[in-house]
Amino acid sequence: MAQDFPVQRTCPFAPPAEYAKLRDEAPVVRAKLPRGEAWLVTRWAEARQVLSSPAISTATTTPGSPKPLMSPDPPTPEMLEELAGQRHGVFIDMDPPEHTRYRKLLIPEFSYRRIKEMQPGMQATADRLIDDMLAQGTQADLVEAFALPLPSLVICQLLGVPYSEREFFQNSTRRLLTAPDEVGQMAAVGELREFLSGLVAEAERAPGDDLLGRLVTARAVPHEDMVGMMFLLLVAGHETTANMLPLSVLSLVRHPDQLRQLLDDPGLWPGAVEELLRFHSIVDWAGFDRAATQDIEIGGRKLGAGDGIFVLGASANHDERVFPDPDRFDIHREARPHVAFGYGIHQCLGQNLARAELEIALRTLFERIPGLRVDAPDEELSFKYSATVFGVDALPVSW
């Protein structure tokens, strides 16, 4: 019997309980989507196989792509036309050689060296936000005061987006990721793309010393493609880190012994960040939709050309075959093989940036406010169980 999909989380510290049962059953299982069926990849080895196979397509236009089947209603001709326009430049949904062309343009901007150069600015931003928190008293909503503005400031500076516009794109991104249907998602995408089109046009008139300015100066891609690239980078570079930060704080506060070890030995922070990424796996299957372009065997199961696939990232990152006692949070675990950033040619371009932001933000927050407390039990917190990217709406803290 096919598993109904998607499956909603019910615990902030674990993937859906059904994932463990599916992993035990098989590495590849059948799923019932709102408008069709697809395969679910449940285990780590098979997840990496799918994410790196040239016989698997990431393009949503590939026959069998499961993403369009997630909406309960088929798209109208008008929606299909609008969707086609919104695909320009969104290279995460492209296959080589188109994907390769876009990615090569951006690799220098997200290299380890470039992110290293940005770290003093990230540190100054984190310190300034904490200064503001401390100046306001002894309580704050960590999401509003720290987790949202930090990645917003960083990505705005990197891309060349005026920070004065951060509230607009934060709200648009949130609507995009929480919209109950495709109509709402498309409206949020259209609104954000229109805003970005204006920024690209402005950069075309007077390019600045930032990523957008450099790409415009190089005449790398046409206007609409540039808008799509900025859209993808802005959403991916802001929303994921903004959700990871408060969840990470919550996990560390709930594990005071491990937090104390981090404060005593800052050299443990990089490993702790990897474990947090594995443990929470907030993206899960979003962005891991694929379709087979030829017959292929995965985990002993034969898939045919045109079969849709979802890789369950949260399940793969809790695969007992790779991560012993996977539901236990352990900063000393060798978590780096996780697939929180994907795997293969579509591996997250901004992973160096995300790692740096998380490490700087968490280390600075707990070093400067070592008595930080969460002022609500877990059951009273509002978690984003139905959102595409998991997180928490607010995190009341005091010190």
Strands 289-292 and 396-398: unpaired
Q: How many CB atoms lie within 10 A of CB 37?
A: 15
With residues binned 3-state (H G I as helix, E B as strand, rest as coil), the percentages for the chain, rounded to 5, are 55, 10, 35
* pLDDT at residue 172 greater than cutoff 80: no
Between 37 and 238, name the one with better pLDDT: 37
Q: What is the pLDDT of residue 140?
A: 97
Mean pLDDT of 210-235: 88
How would you write 351-391 as a 3-class SS string? Answer: HHHHHHHHHHHHHHHHHHCCCCEECCCHHHCCECCCCCCCC
Cα-based distances in Å from 93 to 89, 308, 322: 9, 14, 29
- The alpha carbon of 180 is separated from its chain's Cα centroid by a whole number of angstroms, namely 19
**Which residues lie below 8 Å from residue 286, measured CB to CB, with a gap of 6+?**
388, 389
Task: Tell me the pLDDT band of 332, cut-offs 50, 70 and 90.
Answer: very high
Give the predicted TM-score (pTM) of the model. 0.92
- Tell whether the model's pLDDT for residue 167 goes beyond 80: no
Beta strand ranges found along 67-218 (DSSP E)? 139-141
Query: What are the phi and psi torsion angles at 67 (to 5°)?
Result: -60, -45
DSSP designation for 108:
G
Count of structural domains, the chain:
1
Per-residue pLDDT averaged across 285-309, rounded? 96
Give me the pLDDT at residue 164, please. Answer: 75
- Is residue 6's pLDDT more than 70? yes
Q: What is the CATH number of the domain that holds 148?
A: 1.10.630.10
Which element (helix H / strand E) includes 94? none
Per-residue pLDDT reduced to its tens digit, 43-83: 999 999 999 999 999 999 999 999 989 988 888 888 777 77
Give the strands of the sheet with 396-398, arranged side by side: 139-141, 396-398, 373-374
* Structure confidence at residue 185 as a pLDDT band (50, 70, 90): confident
How confident is residue 270, by pLDDT bands cut at 50, 70 and 90?
Answer: very high
Q: What tokens were used for 354?
A: 């995300």
pLDDT value, residue 179: 63
Q: Which domain holds residue 173?
A: 3-398
In degrees and rounded to multiples of 5, residue 208 shows phi and psi of: -100, 180
pLDDT tens digit sequence for 334-374: 999 999 999 999 999 999 999 999 999 999 999 999 999 99
Would you state the pLDDT for residue 193? Answer: 86
Greater model confidence, 183 or 69: 69
CA distance 306 to 247: 37
Quote the CA–CA distance of 137 and 156 in Å, as a whole number. 28
Contacts of residue 53, Cβ cutoff 8 Å, sequence gap at least 6: 296, 344
Helix count and strand count (H, E) for the chain:
15, 11
Is the pLDDT at 171 greater than 80? The verdict is no
- Residue 56 is predicted with a pLDDT of 97
* pLDDT per position as a tens digit, 89-120: 899 999 999 999 999 999 998 999 999 999 99
pLDDT of residue 169: 67
Pairwise CA distance, residues 172 & 260, whole Å: 38
| Mean pLDDT, all residues of the chain | 92
Peptide bond before residue 97 is cis, with ω within 30 degrees of 0:
yes
User: Of 351, 376, 397, whose CA–CA distance to 106 is shortest?
Assistant: 351
According to DSSP, the β-strands at 396-398 and 308-311 are: unpaired
- Structure-token pair, residue 271: 């490993």
Does the pLDDT of residue 380 top 70, yes or no?
yes
Q: Output the CA–CA distances (angstroms, integers) from residue 372 to 123, 142, 265, 377, in the order listed.
A: 19, 10, 18, 15
